[in-house]
Amino acid sequence: MNYFKDLLALLKLERDEDRRQYQQLTQTTSLTERRANGLTWYPIAIRGSELGRGEYLTVELERTTHQEIPHQLRFGMPAVLFSNHDPKQDRVEGTISHQSGNRLKLTLRVDELPDWSRDGKLGVELLFDENSYDEMEQALKRANTLSEKSDHRLINILTGQHSPTFHSDRPALSLPQLNPSQQAAVNQILAANELAIVHGPPGTGKTTTLVQAIKILIRQDNQKMLVVAPSNTAVDLLSEKLHEQGLNVLRIGNPARVSERLMALTLDQRVNDHPYMKEARKLKKQANEFRTMAHKYKRTFGKAEREQRKALFDEAHRILKEVAQTEQYVVDDLIAKAQVITATLVGANQYAVRDLTYHTVVIDEAGQALEPACWIPILKARKVVLAGDHCQLPPTIKSAEAARRGLGTTLLEKCVALHPGAVSLLDEQYRMHEHIMGYSAQVFYQNNLKAHASVARHRLFDGDTSLVFVDTAGCGFDEQLDGTSSTNPDEAALLVRHLSALVADLSTLYTPQDFPTVAVISPYKQQIALLTEQIRAATDLQPYSAKIAVNTIDSFQGQERDIVYISLVRSNPEGDIGFLSDIRRMNVAMTRARKKLVIVGDSATLGSLPFYGDFIAYAEALNTYQSAWEWL
């Protein structure tokens, strides 16, 4: 089927480009630069080691300095332990099997640590993640084979050859804790035979709706369900909410938000806590002792010592085999009892659950999921629920060519267009003042979104305006190019001045404890660096620093704050707005605010795109347009 062959070709483009960027980053940069880019921990100390599954050695590593640098080392990713004495020679590859704070566990493909690990400075560095691409590629090939061989209903529906069907005779459930659109979505999910889509705009309670639907499906069908999302953070949120509803949740993989509650749901922790593992741990300790004794024999020894060494190793192996059988029994037992398995898209194929199939698979945040990754869990299901918002940020694509040829179009977007009858729109939001919501509702949601009475008019104080556009046109605030990113120092300074004035007003109304939360966001990384610096330097803002977060728009998707400032940066005579033309990013930015949204930008530059011209007209109609001159 050409559908999957085309996707495979796009995935290959993406893999090649991703690998090229990774190689460029690692081969042409120094260790210090790689550490700054979050690819490397250096120096590190070895805090312990033990033989684990398959008799591979797991070492626990801790980064001892530069602990404040954000990094990309995550559970499941391939990494290499190296010695800085000779990084090309002295290296051993493995997989990160746990990561929390400044410690991680690396499972190596050896059964003992190499000699060089005892001297010289050590580091750990991410390798290019071929595994995720391999999993996606295998899923697409399998989907292709299934689509050609048999009449696979679900595949045919998702690729647009058939239409989804529904039980029309099911009595609708009444769920008083949900609003009418949420109830309709749950009933649609229950009635669907193959596909249901939940379109959840910002603040509409998508997670609440999904959790209720999953709970009812499990109660009715008594079937195990798989719940997946593209990011660990989204998986964590669902795992926690499902657990709170009293469901037996098994979290596959390592949570990003490492709280005690979440750790207790993971397969590793559950295995650890299982009553059968007490004896297994004793045995494991014994095996490790035998190994240590065997290693004490130097390599130049006589026949008797060699036999003694071999006997110790043999005994260690025999014990570990017994431990492995116990572990396997425990894993099988835990999986058999779980009602919901939660994982990332690629994590759905983790060794312990690789061969499971499910009646229903739920894919949350499907608007951010790369389609090839979605096919990994889909092939394990008879029915799929896609939930997300295709009007917010799409997945990140490294290859411009692959994006241009359609890899950026998600399965959610395709299915919404192909099967509008399967879509339930959640139409009531519980986050934003109606003026903050209004423009997004008009542009992205055909005015079908309404604000719940509890938030429709909530403000920071009586008489405050919830939406402000501060226009810098004519102020001579020209943007600058800083490396590959744009900055606008004058606009940053104006924004900080505006924020300081607002904070001064609010400090008379709120105590530091209940002070409103603030996000300062921008699409440009360098502008964020500039804003962070200026906010740190503003002495009047220092008492409130715990309440003020500064970051890119992309990193705020899924979050909310009482007050949001957006710095749009672009200001030039050509009217060139760069990737501000991706209006979905602006939809995310504008819908993070609960009670006040302040946007700072140059109307003369922005007006070249109708989206911004219309927004400025919207602000003027609400009488919330300000000229930057008022602040200079």
Q: Cα(189)–Cα(385) distance, rounded to whole angstroms?
A: 7
Cis peptide, bond prior to residue 43, ω within 30 of zero:
yes
* Residue 601, C-beta contacts closer than 8 angstroms, at least 6 positions apart: 469, 470, 471, 472, 491, 566, 567, 568, 569, 570, 571, 612
Span 99-134, pLDDT tens digits = 888 999 999 988 778 888 887 789 999 999 999 999
Among 243, 232, 234, which Cα is nearest to 207's? Answer: 234
User: In this structure, are residues 587 and 440 in contact, taking their beta carbons and an 8 Å threshold?
Assistant: yes
Q: Helix-strand-coil percent breakdown of the chain, rounded to 5?
A: 45, 20, 35
| Cβ count near 401 (within 10 Å) | 13
Which ranges in 95-166 belong to alpha helices (H)? 130-149, 153-158
DSSP letters of 112-128?
S--GGGGSS-EEEEEPP
Q: Residue 299: pLDDT band by 50, 70, 90 thresholds?
A: low
**What pLDDT is stored for residue 100 in this prediction?**
83
Query: Looking only at Cα atoms, what is the longest distance across the chain?
Result: 93
**What pLDDT is stored for residue 53 in this prediction?**
66
Span 583-632, pLDDT tens digits = 999 999 999 999 999 999 999 999 999 999 999 999 999 999 999 998 87
Which amino acid is it at 434?
Answer: E
**What's the rounded mean pLDDT across residues 428-432?**
98
**What's the rounded mean pLDDT across residues 553-557?**
87
| Cβ count near 574 (within 10 Å) | 7
Torsion over CA of 156, 158, 164 and 166, rounded to 10 degrees?
A: 120
Q: Residue 268: pLDDT band by 50, 70, 90 thresholds?
A: confident
**What's the rounded mean pLDDT across residues 15-22?**
95
Q: Cα(387)–Cα(200) distance, rounded to whole angstroms?
A: 7
CA atoms within 13 A on the CB side of 578: 14
User: In this structure, are residues 598 and 498 in contact, taking their beta carbons and an 8 Å threshold?
Assistant: yes
**What pLDDT is stored for residue 300 in this prediction?**
59
User: In this structure, are residues 522 and 567 in contact, taking their beta carbons and an 8 Å threshold?
Assistant: yes
Residue 611: which H helix or E strand, with range?
helix 610-621
Q: Cα(203)–Cα(441) distance, rounded to whole angstroms?
A: 12
Torsion over CA of 189, 190, 195 and 196, rounded to 10 degrees?
A: -10
**What pLDDT is stored for residue 303 in this prediction?**
79
**What pLDDT is stored for residue 87 in this prediction?**
77
Q: Residue 218: pLDDT band by 50, 70, 90 thresholds?
A: very high
Span 152-189, pLDDT tens digits = 899 999 999 999 999 988 888 999 999 999 999 999 99
pLDDT at residue 563 tops 70: yes
**What pLDDT is stored for residue 70 in this prediction?**
85
DSSP letters of 506-547?
HTTTS-STTPPPEEEEES-HHHHHHHHHHHHH-GGGGGGGGG
CA angle 448, 449, 453 (to 5 degrees): 135
Sign of CA dihedral 433, 438, 439, 442: positive
Span 41-80, pLDDT tens digits = 999 999 988 876 666 889 999 998 898 888 989 888 899 9
Among 559, 552, 234, 225, which Cα is nearest to 369's? Answer: 234
**What pLDDT is stored for residue 341 in this prediction?**
98
Among 547, 542, 536, 535, which Cα is nearest to 460's? Answer: 547
pLDDT at residue 22 tops 70: yes
**What's the rounded mean pLDDT across residues 75-86?**
88
Q: Residue 301: pLDDT band by 50, 70, 90 thresholds?
A: low
Q: Cα(534)–Cα(542) distance, rounded to whole angstroms?
A: 11
**What pLDDT is stored for residue 113 in this prediction?**
85
Q: Cα(209)–Cα(362) distance, rounded to whole angstroms?
A: 12
**What pLDDT is stored for residue 97 in this prediction?**
87
**What's the rounded mean pLDDT across residues 455-473?**
97
**What pLDDT is stored for residue 607 in this prediction?**
92
Q: Cα(233)–Cα(223) distance, rounded to whole angstroms?
A: 25
**What pLDDT is stored for residue 519 in this prediction?**
97
**What's the rounded mean pLDDT across residues 257-267?**
85
Token pair recorded at residue 141:
């090939």
Our separate counts of H helices and E strands in the chain read 20, 23
Span 473-516, pLDDT tens digits = 999 999 998 878 899 999 999 999 999 999 999 999 999 899 99
DSSP letters of 372-384?
HHHHHHHTTEEEE
Token pair recorded at residue 231:
């990011």
CA atoms within 13 A on the CB side of 580: 27
